[in-house]
Amino acid sequence: MTRSQRAGALRILALTLYTVLTVFPFYWMIITTFKQNVDLYSETNNPLWFNAPPTLSNIQYLLEQTRFLTWMANSLIIGVGVVLITLLTAVPAGYALARLRLPGAEQMGIAIFATYLVPPTLVFIPLTRVVHVLGLQNTIWSLVLILPTISIPFSVWLLMGFFKNVPFEIEEAALVDGATRTQAVFHVVLPISRAGLAAAGMFAFAISIQAFLYPLVFTSSTAVKPVTLGVVTDLVRGDLFYWGSLMAGALFAGLPVAILFNYFMDDFVEGITAGSTK
């Protein structure tokens, strides 16, 4: 083999290995979802395929014996709320720090991003006090309020870099033509920064949909749990694991998110790479 052929073969091998490692968790979730319990727990059976006829009993148990649909609805409400709060806060903050030439704006942006690096385990105790004072204990609104503390700092830093990439001359031309600052932002800056907004929104949604510590601390009733907490706490009872239903819940919760991220992947990658390096 020539040198280029060896390089091509190594790339194919690396891509194949990466694909297998990426797809395998979804494959495992799918086959476990449809396996019977006798098939799951038998040590003599092939764990990678069906040794008994597939069954829908795990899905039926998840939908009928748990509040899975309620958990999914809670997660959706929390996710939408976190995205809205994040964008409504991060967009004006990032714009002001990036384009208004404020004294110390660069240092302030770094300080805001530094708060993102603080582990959530260090701040959930004071946040518990905030939730208690506001009377939001054991409600999904406590998570809508608290989770943006994680997503806003990163989103501000990301959008700062993206807004800096918008030429000042375009915005100044809009101002000269009679547009107000607000009109220039909405009609000039934000459309050009669409990829950055998509990246910030997707990041905020991902933070909300995968959160576990804060839901564990701030919610206790089954009816107000998000799916990440509800599936685990209701389908793991002591040393009894409902593996089939657990995997069904993980599959149904993760598949819409995977589809959403795949649909907006180009905008997400463009937003992360462009906004984080300017």
Residue 275, pLDDT > 50, answer: no
What pLDDT does 274 receive? 56
Taking the C-alpha atoms of residue 62 and residue 247, their distance in angstroms, rounded to an integer, is 10
What pLDDT does 74 receive? 94
Beta partners for residue 236, in sequence order:
241
Residue 278, pLDDT > 80, answer: no
119: left (phi over 0), alpha (psi -120 to 50) or beta: beta
pLDDT digits (tens, 9 = 90+) for 12-47: 999 999 999 988 988 999 999 999 888 888 878 888
Residue predicted with more confidence, 66 or 237: 66
62: which 2 tokens? 């998840």
pLDDT digits (tens, 9 = 90+) for 112-131: 878 878 887 788 888 888 89
Strand boundaries in 116-247, DSSP class E: 236-237, 240-241
Q: Mean pLDDT, to the nearest integer, of 135-142? A: 91
Residue 105, pLDDT > 50, answer: yes
Q: Of 150, 156, 165, 163, which is closest to residue 110 (Cα–Cα)?
A: 156
Beta partners for residue 240, in sequence order:
237
Cβ atoms of residues 187 and 174 within 8 Å: yes
pLDDT winner (highest mean) among 145-159, 164-178, 188-202? 145-159
Could you give the 3-state DSSP secondary structure of residue 275?
Answer: helix
pLDDT digits (tens, 9 = 90+) for 203-236: 899 888 888 889 998 998 889 999 999 998 888 8
Percentage of the chain with pLDDT > 90?
A: 26
Taking the C-alpha atoms of residue 140 and residue 138, their distance in angstroms, rounded to an integer, is 7
pTM of the predicted structure, to 2 decimals = 0.84
pLDDT digits (tens, 9 = 90+) for 63-99: 998 999 999 999 999 999 999 999 999 999 988 888 8
What pLDDT does 71 receive? 93
Residue 277, pLDDT > 50, answer: no
List Cβ neighbours of 266 (8 Å cut-off, separation of 6 or more). 195
Q: What element of type H or E holds 216? A: helix 213-218
Residue 168, pLDDT > 70, answer: yes
AA identity, residue 199: A
